[in-house]
Structures are given as structure tokens and as C-alpha cells.
Amino acid sequence: MARWASRNAPRTSHDVNRVVVIGLGRFGGSLALELIASGFEVLGLDRDPKLVQHFADELTHAAVADTTDPDALVQLGVPDFQRAVVGIGNDMEASILTTSVIADFGIPHIWAKATSKRHRRILERVGAHHVVLPEHDMGERVAHLVTGRMLDYIEFEDDYALVKTTAPDAVLGVPLGQTSIRKRYGVTVVGIKRPGEKFTYATQESAVERHDLLVVAGRRSQVEAFANLTSTPPR
């Protein structure tokens, strides 16, 4: 059964601006607050009454519930949501069972937190559409920043990545269309930021100046190699 710790009952319309976040620990709680700040309505669920009470005044709705129980989730209107996040991390069984239950509801967008690669594989098999390993992914990202000359690093699927880095001497003072960056390095410059200015889209006519920041896209090994060409150490 579920027990409410909020002032209002949830609406049951299929609204894409509503998200149910299951598990209000560090990951789920911070994610729920960020969604609220971005203008979403959030139903937060957890089996710990203290956590639910902590977030009751911050979230649109919050409730104490056994999220492995389909009847409890139906009572809370969870099947009517278009987006769900399973942020349970310290109980693998509850994480897997909860993900399986909401997948059976046919929710079209399910994100789930995993604590290991094995956990991730299981979550994908039971119906999660997107699985994140926050600690692993952050550790991998920071490793790239520590060992390279990048200011920021984001890796996507299929070995594709975006990096933010300073401009190397090889591209200074010449329009990008004349530098043959893609042919020489296998990367594409997608954005440029001058000191004191905002990022702008890069074009073939854009000329890069010293101290400019670049956003570069390409295969992981290629963007890393390009970032290591930079003549100005990251600050």
C-alpha cells in the first residue's frame, strides 16, 4: 500500500511534463529537484518515510510506497506517467523488480540507475530504456579530464564524444573551412567561445583565435588526440 506525504492527490492525465522518480536517495533526490527547477511536475516515491517527508514540500507530490508492488503503483497513478526514473541504488532486487513492474505498465520512457555493469544488463533486459551508472560514468569522465588537456568531456554511444578544449596553433587565424580539420584530425568543430562572449555555432567562415574555447565532436580517440594538440593549458 501507499501512504501520501503531500497536500494534493496526483492528476491522472497523460502529461509529458510529469515525471515519477522512484528512490529519493542522493541520485533520485537531486534529480527530482532539478526536474522541479526545470518546470516539471514530479511524483517522488520511496519506502523510507523520512526521505519522503524531507522532499514533501519540494516536490509536486511525494508518497511512501513499496514500489515493487504493482497495486501500490496503480493506486498512485504511476501507469499514467510517460516518464519514469528508478533511482534505487542500494537494493538491487528492489531496483530490478520496480523497473520490471513499471515496464509492464507500458511507460514509454524509463530511466534507471545501475550500480554495476551486470546490474545495467539486467535492468535493460527487464525493460529500462536508458540505464546510467553515475559513479562509473563520472569516474570515467573525470579520468579523461585528468589525463588529457580537455576542459570538459561527454561520451555518447558508439565511441562518439564531445570535448571542450582550447584552440591549438594549427587552426589559429584561418577560417575553419581552410584548415581541413575533419580531413586531418577526423573531428568537427561545432562551437566557438571567445573570452567574455557566449558560445556560437562554428561555420566554415569562422576564424579561431588564440584563447578561444572549442567544442569538438568525433570519435573518442580522435577528439582526445585533437585536444592534446592545444597550445594553451586548460584553466
Tens digit of each residue's pLDDT, the chain (235 residues): 555 554 444 444 456 789 999 999 999 999 999 999 999 999 999 999 999 999 999 999 999 999 999 999 999 999 999 999 999 978 999 999 999 999 999 999 999 999 998 999 999 999 999 998 887 777 766 766 766 678 888 888 778 989 999 888 888 988 998 888 888 899 999 999 999 999 999 999 999 998 899 999 999 889 888 988 864 444 4
Whether residues 128 and 194 share a domain: the answer is no
Whether residues 127 and 151 share a domain: the answer is no
Whether residues 102 and 166 share a domain: the answer is no
Please identify, among 82, 108, 134, the residue that sits at the C-terminal boundary of a domain.
134
In-domain check, residue 166 = yes
Q: Give every strand in the sheet of 130-132, ordered side by side.
A: 2-4, 61-65, 41-46, 18-22, 83-86, 109-113, 130-132
Cell numbers found for residue 97: 523488480
Cα dihedral 211/213/145/112 (nearest 10)? 160
Residue 63's pLDDT is: 96
The pTM score is 0.70
How far is 229 from 222, CA to CA, in rounded Å? 11
CATH number at residue 124: 3.40.50.720
Report the domain count for the chain: 2
Residue 56's pLDDT is: 94
Residue 9's pLDDT is: 43
Whether residues 9 and 110 share a domain: the answer is yes
Whether residues 16 and 93 share a domain: the answer is yes
CATH number at residue 175: 3.30.70.1450
Cell numbers found for residue 220: 573518442
Whether residues 66 and 159 share a domain: the answer is no
Q: Give every strand in the sheet of 200-201, ordered side by side.
A: 152-155, 160-166, 213-219, 187-193, 200-201
- DSSP secondary structure string for all residues of 17-61: TEEEEE--SHHHHHHHHHHHHTT-EEEEEES-HHHHHHHTTTSSE
* Contact in structure between 47 and 67 (CB atoms under 8 Å): yes
Residue 47 makes CB contacts below 8 A (sequence gap 6+) with: 64, 65, 66, 67, 94
- DSSP secondary structure string for all residues of 163-175: EEEEPPGGGBTSB
Could you tell me which of 155, 231, 217, 156 has the C-alpha nearest to residue 181?
217
Pairing mode of beta strands 61-65, 83-86? unpaired
In-domain check, residue 233 = no
Pairing mode of beta strands 18-22, 83-86? parallel
Using alpha carbons only, what angle is made at residue 30 by residues 24 and 34, rounded to the nearest 5 degrees? 125
In-domain check, residue 141 = no
Q: Which domain holds residue 178?
A: 146-227
Residue 142 makes CB contacts below 8 A (sequence gap 6+) with: none
